[in-house]
Chain A
Amino acid sequence: MAATRIDCDIHPAVGGTRTTLLPYLDDHWKEQVVSRAIDGLDLNSYPPSMPLSGRADWRPATGKPGSDLAMVQRGAFDQLGASHAICNVLYGAQAVFDPYMAAAFCKAINDWIAAEWLSKDKRLRASIVVPMQAPDLAVEEIERLAGDQRFVSVLVLAQGDQLLGKRHFWPVYQAAEKHKLPIAIHAGSQYRGAPSSIGWPSYRYEYYLMEAQAFQAQILSLVYEGVFGKFPGLKVVLMESGVSWLPAFMWRANKTWRGVRVEVPWVEREPASIIRDHFRVTMQPFDGPPDAAGVADIIEQIGSDKMFLFASDYPHWQFDGNDAMPPHLPASIISRMCADNPLETFPRLKLAA
């Protein structure tokens, strides 16, 4: 086996509720999705036909990018050289309004990925998809799957209708901490409120850029609401968030906290140090400066080599060729981000599973 190289973010695709997920729904929801044609839940964040959603050579002849196991195996493992990969399913269950339907679809997605992906390739792991619309149901889903060590994290969207630090989400974090499951916040929106304070964007491109600001808001929310004081063992992974905004964001957070920390006295140290301890970030896409010196500066400014996690974002089109490693990264980072950091971040990820 090749060197350990854990790809922390790949995207198997769900065909639909009436097709892929149907065998994993109970009889009630089977009848509902068929009789009411409840289907087509691909998130507006990732239209499958958009170039970013699937690199040209990773698109199957039929079906969505990421829908064909053999093709994903060839791409993520053979071509990109990962030894293991974590599957993050971005399908619309997290955006459903009906909390029970959302829970049913999340459950179906999780059972589908376990049966049709994890059981067929020992190199694969997955995040538990949960209905954050109803935190108690999200906790139920975590508890239901906690015994299955192939699930290594809990997946939530970067843009729901409530910021993730809010108290009513805390039971989810309690369950996640208990089972050593980091919270993976992945780019993607319920598209309920505008994806930015300035309103609704015209372009997908614009929306995709706005995601970076949403991630920053989620960090502030989790820090200032005191989530890490309550759950000191909790880790949060930012997936497909971009990276280069971290330094200036942390400087501003520190500056603001120094001045207005009386609002949140339970936050007892600078946000940047909390962020370095509790947050991790996947490295595709890496949106750093174009030059090696600039990249070195950004990495130094982030100030922690533990935060970086190797990821390809397969099948999203983040790069061409066979090397998912962003250019110009210092060697010290590369050696940590492929194995040490993922193993520390995802404690359930035992290589010999």
Chain B
Amino acid sequence: MSDVIDRPILEQEVAAKSRLRIIDCDVHPSIHAHTDLDQFMTKRWQQHFREYGSHLRTPYIGTTPYPRSSPLIARRDAWPPTGGPPGSDLAFMQKQHLDPLDVEYGILQVLDLFIFSQQNLEFGAAIQRAINDWQLAFWSDRDPRLKASILAGQDDTALAIAEIERCAKTGRYVQINVCPRANEPLGRRRYWLIYERAQELGLPLGIHVGGYGGHAPTGGGWPSYYAEEHQSNAHTMASMLCSLVLEGIPERFPNLKIVFIEGGFGWIPPAMWRMDRHFEAFRSEVPHLKRKPSEYVKEHFWFTTQPIDEPDEAKHLRSLIDWVGVDRLLFSSDYPHWDFDDPRFAFRTPLSEVERQKIFSSNARGVYKL
């Protein structure tokens, strides 16, 4: 932790701005009013939405199981003056986030409507489809900096692939999003068809934290507090990395790029070390792995940076970055959520200009072919 900070930081902000335009790999747009989606849904699903709504593996119909630390998990200064939830007003997002931080591209990650956790898989597919169209009509069309992701819930693989095909034809989406908390770990065979298609299309697979798959947020049961549930996102991502590597996804789909979103990156080196440490003892169980697990991670996976770790000592963050590898990191802000990372201050350790360029821009440009 730094000492007392009294910073009229304007000069620093201006300097940073003039140096580097950034690519923000995790921007959350929100639906202003659910009726906005009507134009993208058939009457049948509009009716279903109105009458039955979301059916999730969670206790409440009106909110999340663990009350968040702020309304709608958002920064308190991110509520648009025109009304509607944070992230729902493009002009305000431009004014508060995209323009002042000089965002060259923002990758949209939609979490609304528990998009990946609908028990009625057909309804889930209908709202994914609607939101995929809505992303273009309400965001990308109006601000070409904002790039859409194809939401494709993996639990009905056939519907997911149909939606991927439909969206990919437009050539306007930059990745395919699936959910880390669903029925089964993403490495499992039932999902491989999605990866095969993603690889053919040259679209990265994006995995953003969240979802209600019915399993407890920890391997030891249901926690009592949001503080626990919030941190469990990192644990989810660590388990998911192991699933994808151990099932041999990089071996089977060598050109598939996989992006972990909003997991942070502190957990990655220990996950790699742990996989490698036990490789010998378990090698006979996973003969399809031709190389040490960490080698796959270092070639096939990318990780967005938020929420960044904040060790007391800057050199510890530096070690962490070196262990993960600068080439693997994609800057993300998580705007407009409460645990937002500001690109000007998030990295509290010195980075070279080349490293800044990679983390804040060129790595993402390469992964998403921007």
- A contact set with B: CB distance below 8 Å: 51-52, 158-166, 189, 193-206, 208-214, 216-218, 220-221, 224-225, 242, 244-245, 247-249, 251-257, 259-264, 285-290, 294, 297, 301, 317-318
Tell me the bound Cα distance from A56 to B109 in angstroms.
50
CB <8 Å contact, B242 and A210:
yes
Residues of B within 8 A of A52 (CB): 278, 281-282
Tell me the bound Cα distance from A277 to B2 in angstroms.
23
CB <8 Å contact, A260 and B227:
yes
Tell me the bound Cα distance from A51 to B215 in angstroms.
29
Within 8 A of A (CB), among B251-286: 264, 266-267, 269-271, 273-278, 281-282, 284-286
Residues of B within 8 A of A261 (CB): 227
- B contact set with A: CB distance below 8 Å: 69, 180-188, 213, 215-228, 230-232, 234-236, 238-240, 242-243, 246-247, 264, 266-267, 269-271, 273-278, 281-282, 284-286, 307, 309-311, 316, 319-320, 323, 338-339
CB <8 Å contact, A202 and B223:
no
Nearest residue, chain A, Cβ from B218: A217
CB <8 Å contact, A260 and B221:
no
Pairs A–B under 8 Å by Cβ, sample size 13: A158-B219, A160-B220, A163-B220, A197-B181, A198-B236, A203-B285, A205-B278, A208-B282, A245-B271, A253-B231, A260-B225, A263-B225, A287-B273
Residues of B within 8 A of A217 (CB): 217-220, 223, 228, 232, 235
CB <8 Å contact, B228 and A193:
no
List 6 additional contacts besides A161-B221, A212-B270, A301-B311; criterion CB under 8 Å: A52-B281, A210-B219, A217-B228, A225-B224, A247-B311, A263-B225
Tell me the bound Cα distance from A51 to B278 in angstroms.
11
CB <8 Å contact, A196 and B338:
no
Known: A205-B278, A209-B275, A244-B274. A249 touches B267 (CB 8 A): yes
Residues of B within 8 A of A197 (CB): 180-181, 213, 215-219, 232, 235-236, 239
Nearest residue, chain B, Cβ from A216: B235
Residues of A within 8 A of B228 (CB): 163, 217, 220-221, 224
Residues of B within 8 A of A205 (CB): 246, 278, 282, 285-286
Q: Inter-chain contact count A-B, CB under 8 Å?
A: 237
Nearest residue, chain A, Cβ from B275: A209
Tell me the bound Cα distance from A221 to B225 in angstroms.
9
Tell me the bound Cα distance from A242 to B278 in angstroms.
11
CB <8 Å contact, A193 and B216:
yes
Residues of B within 8 A of A254 (CB): 310
Tell me the bound Cα distance from A199 to B231 in angstroms.
17
CB <8 Å contact, A202 and B220:
no
Residue of A164, A195, A200, A252 contacting most chain B CB atoms (<10 Å): A252
CB <8 Å contact, B273 and A259:
no
CB <8 Å contact, B243 and A201:
yes
CB <8 Å contact, A256 and B185:
no
Tell me the bound Cα distance from A331 to B218 in angstroms.
36
Determine how close the nearest CB of chain B comes to the CB of A308; give it in whole angstroms: 16
Tell me the bound Cα distance from A205 to B248 in angstroms.
13
Determine how close the nearest CB of chain A comes to the CB of B262; give it in whole angstroms: 13
Nearest residue, chain B, Cβ from A253: B231
CB <8 Å contact, A251 and B220:
no
Residues of B within 8 A of A189 (CB): 219
CB <8 Å contact, B264 and A193:
no
Determine how close the nearest CB of chain B comes to the CB of A194; give it in whole angstroms: 4
CB <8 Å contact, B310 and A198:
no
CB <8 Å contact, A213 and B239:
yes
Q: Which residue of the partner chain, among A200, A211, A224, contacts B225 with CB atoms under 8 Å?
A: A224
Known: A196-B236, A199-B185. A208 touches B278 (CB 8 A): yes
Determine how close the nearest CB of chain B comes to the CB of A325; give it in whole angstroms: 15
Nearest residue, chain B, Cβ from A161: B221
Residues of B within 8 A of A248 (CB): 266-267, 269-270, 309, 320
Nearest residue, chain A, Cβ from B69: A260
9 closest Cβ contacts across the A-B interface? A248-B266, A217-B218, A214-B219, A205-B282, A213-B235, A245-B270, A196-B239, A244-B270, A287-B277
Tell me the bound Cα distance from A218 to B187 in angstroms.
25
Tell me the bound Cα distance from A239 to B220 in angstroms.
15
Known: A51-B282, A248-B309. A242 touches B270 (CB 8 A): yes
